[in-house]
Structure 1
Amino acid sequence: MPDPQTIRTYDELARQQAAFQRNQHPDAIYRLIEAFFHHGRPTADIGSGSGRDVAWLEQHGYPTIGFEPSVGMINEARAAYAGINVQPAALPDLAGVKDASFDNVLCVAVLMHLPAADLIGAAVNLARILRPSGRLIVSYRTPPPEGERAADGRLYTAIPSARLTLLLESVGIRVLLVAEIPDQTRPGIRWVNVVGE
């Protein structure tokens, strides 16, 4: 199950978190989407947060459903982006999300919020909802300086990229690209971007 304290923090700070997310410009992720995702095909945004990426995907020709565990964040997303489709669901189980239902799956800033023991289940279920030849883009960040539990209570599990690559390949997702980039505004924080098929 998702980390309860992390979900509680997102619920309690939904307005601030949504505003923060909307002010970020994940150009590296959008370039990966345009390079690797199947244009015009059903797309899932797992952990859709503020709704920013669902709205971008829709505007760029990727029909998208967002899945988000925080009720507060779902409410913020629906208020900010009229007409987007965001539904409650959470890794690792993605309960209620049908097998082989998406050609593209985006999962940004989610995996690091899962307990390490849930990463296997998360990989299994990301693979489960992908169609044959479907593409997956995962992006996650390194823990904050204070360690795995941030001051606001959110969990940040350290995930070596080699471990995630092995997990994805063990569930039938061939890793096409792994790239590590610095955070745009926060020194010392890095993001790992992984593309699989």
Structure 2
Amino acid sequence: MDQKTLAAYDLDAAAFAKDWLEQPAPVDLHEIVERFFVRGGNSADIGCGCGREVAWLNANGFSATGFDASEGLLAEARQRYPGFKFAHAELPDLKGIGTYDNVLCETVIMHLERAQIAPAVRRLLTAVKPSGILYLSWRITDNADLRDSQGRLYCAFDTALVLGELKSTSLLLDEEVVSASSSKKIHRLVAKKPGLEIRE
């Protein structure tokens, strides 16, 4: 994870949490989850922030655990949603997170340096159980990397960098849209991991 980005989230965790919770509900994301996620399976929200989507997932039949690299944001999540599980994990390594039927990673990987993006996508895929679902999105930055006023990195990269790591999967959704929640341009993918081969 880019350390300046992580420091920005830790420094202003409460302000970021307030901003996200005041945004319109991400109804487009929720529709995708309802359409593609394995219902009744266990789910992981990688880069869960203040826990908003973990709460929604649990309330809608997707038992979920939240993971984030920012201790400040994890503290906000635990305070706001004490009934749910949150733990520290950092891309690209995601040490010790286990495997899940559904893995959601909403607008996180653009905070990584370009060299870390492909390894991060590979690692996300290893966290998905056979026949499970990976939802992955990132905010689009055209032409060049940039940092916002708070110091957060937004890496510019070609979609092919991500797709190259998902060749073994069935791509169920691939689109570039404006997020209903943040009003930012994002690219999002839904990929289904192959199932286990049954040998006679």
Q: How well do the aligned residues superpose, as a CA RMSD in angstroms?
A: 1.9
**Which residues in structure 2 correspond to 1:31-46 (within 5 Å)?**
31-46=31-46
Matched with 1:107 is 105
The question of 1:181 aligning with 2:180 is answered: no
**Which residues in structure 2 correspond to 1:6-155 (within 5 Å)?**
6-24=5-23, 25-98=25-98, 101-143=99-141, 147-155=145-153
Paired residues in the alignment total 191
Q: Give a deviation string over 1:117-169, Cα, whole Å, max 9, x none.
A: 00121111111111101101112112389952112110101233233222222
Unaligned 5+ runs, structure 1: none
- Based on CA coordinates, which of the two structures has the bigger radius of gyration? 2
SS of the equivalent of 1:124 reads: helix
Cα drift, residue 90 of structure 1: 1.0
TM-score (norm 2): 0.89
The question of 1:167 aligning with 2:162 is answered: no
Matched with 2:195 is none
Cα drift, residue 185 of structure 1: 7.3
Q: Give a deviation string over 1:64-106, Cα, whole Å, max 9, x none.
A: 11110100000001111121101000110001112xx200000
TM-score (norm 1): 0.90
CA distance in structure 2 between the partners assigned to 1:29 and 1:186 by the alignment: 11
- Measured at CA, do residues 117 and 147 of structure 1 come closer, stay the same or move farther in structure 2, by a change above 3 Å? closer
CA distance in structure 1 between the partners assigned to 2:37 and 2:100 by the alignment: 11
Q: Give the share of equivalent positions with the same residue, in percent.
A: 36
- Measured at CA, do residues 23 and 48 of structure 1 come closer, stay the same or move farther in structure 2, by a change above 3 Å? same
User: Residue 45 of structure 2 contacts residue 53 of structure 2 at CA under 8 Å; is this kept in 1?
Assistant: yes
User: Residue 112 of structure 1 contacts residue 140 of structure 1 at CA under 8 Å; is this kept in 2?
Assistant: yes
2:189 to 178, 191, 194: 194
Q: Give a deviation string over 1:18-72, Cα, whole Å, max 9, x none.
A: 1111123211111110000001101000000010000000000111111101000
Unaligned 5+ runs, structure 2: 193-200
- Measured at CA, do residues 67 and 122 of structure 1 come closer, stay the same or move farther in structure 2, by a change above 3 Å? same
User: Residue 43 of structure 1 contacts residue 64 of structure 1 at CA under 8 Å; is this kept in 2?
Assistant: yes
CA distance in structure 2 between the partners assigned to 1:134 and 1:17 by the alignment: 31
CA distance in structure 1 between the partners assigned to 2:69 and 2:172 by the alignment: 28
Matched with 2:197 is none
CA distance in structure 2 between the partners assigned to 1:6 and 1:76 by the alignment: 17
Equivalent AA in structure 2 for residue 8 of structure 1: A
Equivalent AA in structure 1 for residue 8 of structure 2: T
CA distance in structure 1 between the partners assigned to 2:144 and 2:11 by the alignment: 21
User: Residue 67 of structure 2 contacts residue 89 of structure 2 at CA under 8 Å; is this kept in 1?
Assistant: yes
Equivalent AA in structure 1 for residue 20 of structure 2: Q
CA distance in structure 2 between the partners assigned to 1:27 and 1:161 by the alignment: 24
CA distance in structure 1 between the partners assigned to 2:97 and 2:142 by the alignment: 31
- Measured at CA, do residues 184 and 177 of structure 1 come closer, stay the same or move farther in structure 2, by a change above 3 Å? closer
